[in-house]
Structures are given as C-alpha cells and as structure tokens.
Structure 1
Amino acid sequence: MYTLNTGDTAFVMLCTALVCLMTPALALFYGGMVPRKNVLTIMMQNFISMGVIAVIWIFGGFSLAFGPDLGGIIGDITFHFGLDGVGVAPSTEYASTVPFILFFAYQLMFAVIAPALITGAFAGRLTFNGYLKFIILWMIFIYLPACHWIWGGGFL
C-alpha cells in the first residue's frame, strides 16, 4: 500500500506550477526576439500548444507514453485513456508518494513546453494550420514514443 507524502506532493505541485509558467514566459521571451510583425504569431503558437497538447495528452498521449509496454516502442492506449483510473490515489508504478493526477499534470506540463520550445526555430515561417499539423504530428510520432522509451518502460 502506497501512502501520500505531503512534502513530495507539495514539491511536485510547486514544480508543476513553475513548468506551467514556463510556456507564457517562453512566449514573452520569443516575442522579444522576433520582428514586430511576428510577435502575436509566436505568442499565439506558444499558447495554443497548451490546449492542443492537453487534449492529445488526455485522450491517449499519457497512455501511449506511460502505458504498459507494447514491444518496447509505445505504450497501450487503453491504459488511462481519457483519465480513466487517474485520481488522487498514488500510482503503484510512477511517483508512489504523490497523487497520480499530479504526476499526470506534471508530465503534461513538459509535454506542453516541448513543442513550444520549437516555435523559435520557425518564427514567422509557418502558417497557423501548418503549426497545428506540426505539433500534432510531432507529439504523436516523436514525443510520445521517446517519452515511452525513456520514462515509460520502453527499450531505453
């Protein structure tokens, strides 16, 4: 039986909040580095990643990254699809002293900041539709498998 640790929970909450603040901070940082005509675009791209990646993470992303291993490449999508089974009870596999929903949120914040970091590389060169397609495909085909390989029980 795993029990919650208040110190661990408070620390992970603080870390989750700080990583969440990184996305708007990154938008402001990149906004200061691009020409005036691209400031709104770069800020919008950073903020839109919060919503798009959150939807992907809730509906399959977390399961693909941290679900039971399928051949070392990716996780099982049915593991916690749509937050099924993710609650305040600690996980037996991941972060056994903090609420599972907090572990979920912490990992979500890193999933959000990852594509936002890439926006600086193509500032002013990509349309909004192109950016949406890019972050969706990048999240599904690059981030989720790599996350599973390293932290989710994959081959690394």
Structure 2
Amino acid sequence: MKNYKIILSATLLTLSACGVNKVKSTSAGSDSAKNQASAPAANTSMFAKMQIKPAIKVGDPVELKFTVYNDADTARQFCKWHTPFEPLMSKYLDVKDASGQEMLYKGAMAKRIMPPPASSYIKVNPKDSLSTTVDLLKAYDISKPSKYTIIYVGQNMSGLAVKDSVEFVYGGK
C-alpha cells in the first residue's frame, strides 16, 4: 500500500511540473512565441494600408507605400519593428508570384531584445496618419516578370492590422 502512495505522489508531482513547464515554454520558447507574448495587441482604432502601382517595369523600383491610420480620439503608438518604418531588418511581408511561390527574402534579420525599448515605438496623433515607402527590390528576390501578391505578416510584433493584400504586375520594359 505504501508503494502505491509513493507512486501516486511521484506521478502527481511529475504531472504538475509538466504543466508548469508547458506554460513557460509557450511564452519563452521560440522567437515567434516571444513576439506574440510581448507584442502589443492589435488595436482596432489603429490600422495600416498598403499601396503599390499596379504595373511596374523591370528595372524600376518596386515601391510599396505603407500608411498607418489612427482613428482614435487620443494619440496611439505602434512598434516600428516589422514595418517599413525601420530599415529592412526583418521579413514582415509575404511576396508571392502568380504560381503562389514565395519570393526569397534576402534582407537582414535582426535579433531583438524583448520587450521593445521605448525608442522602437512611433506615436500617431488622433485622427491622423503616417506614411513611408520602401523599395522591395532591396530585400526580396523579385526578378522575373509575373503578377505578385504582397501580404503583411508583421502584425504580431507591430500591433498593426492590414486587412487587404496588394498586387502588381512586374514585367515589360
């Protein structure tokens, strides 16, 4: 009978320790889990939109305009990491050709210390917006003529939601 009590106690202790470890590994395990746990929550009064020319000639810059809107009555801020508001330091866009193949990201990949420092946030005044433009050729392997689709995937870090993807045709002279 004593053996059953010892085995039962050891089993309960092991199970309770596993539960604690699972919680810890979820919040501190991978980089994406860290980003999700420490990133600002997506804010419905603050969102972003992307714009690009519908047709771009080979050799011309592939300029994506990224605009952040604050519809709130108070100033809001967002983390500039994983947005075009910082130099190309991370892959925050999925760029796919007409066949669905994802274009290779060839830019820098910054390692981050969490949580983001205060200097990594940008303030947007109430009922205002901020825009910036980035040349995608500097970080993505867009070289062959095709129709491309761009999807923003940096919302877990920046806290910005972008509802729509944008498309453009790259080709011609």
Q: TM-score, normalised by structure 1?
A: 0.26
Structure with bigger helix share is 1
TM-score norm. by structure 2 comes to 0.25
Higher strand share: 2
| Structure with greater Cα Rg | 2
